Amino acid sequence: QVQLVESGGGVVQPGGSLRLSCAASGFTFSDYGVHWVRQAPGKGLEWVAFIRYDGSNKYYADSVKGRFTISRDNSKNTLYLQMNGLRAEDTAVYYCAKTSGQPYYFDYWGQGTLVTVSS
Q: How far apart are CA 87 and CA 83, in angstroms?
A: 10
**Does residue 47 interact with other proteins by CB under 8 A?**
yes
Among 8, 3, 16, 2, residue whose Cα is nearest residue 93: 8
> In angstroms, what is the minimal distance from the CB of 16 to other proteins?
26
**Does residue 32 interact with other proteins by CB under 8 A?**
no
Candidate segments 13-21, 24-32, 37-45, 83-91, binder of other proteins by CB under 8 A: 37-45
Q: How far apart are CA 97 and CA 109, in angstroms?
A: 4
Interactions with other proteins, residue window 66-85 (CB under 8 A): none
